[in-house]
Amino acid sequence: MWLDDAGLARRIAIQNAAGNRQSWKVTEFWDFGVAGAITPPDADQITTADPADFQRIFMGES
């Protein structure tokens, strides 16, 4: 994790190892304090994730 002078997280990197394969996920943050508009999805656009898909989604495996 990298913090700026104000102590705000600017980058978070996570390493995940599975067997002999390693994967990095990096998220960068900026524009703290900027107003944003978030519109929630309609009820028919919401689905429940299948836990069996998590490894494929997060590790890029098919």
* CA-closest candidate to residue 25, choices 53, 51, 8, 1: 1
Which of 43-49's residues contact partners 24+ apart within 8 Å by CB, and which partners? Answer: none
CA distance 55 to 62: 9
Question: What six digits make up the tokens of 24?
Answer: 């990095």
Q: Is residue 4 part of a domain?
A: yes
User: Containing domain of residue 23, as a range?
Assistant: 1-30
Considering the domain boundaries, does residue 9 fall inside one? yes
Q: Which pLDDT does position 26 carry in this prediction?
A: 93
Residue 58 covered by a domain: no
- Write down the pTM of the prediction: 0.48
Q: For the chain, how many structural domains are there in total?
A: 1
**pLDDT tens, residue order, the chain (62 aa):** 999 999 999 999 998 877 777 888 899 998 888 888 999 999 999 988 888 777 777 666 55
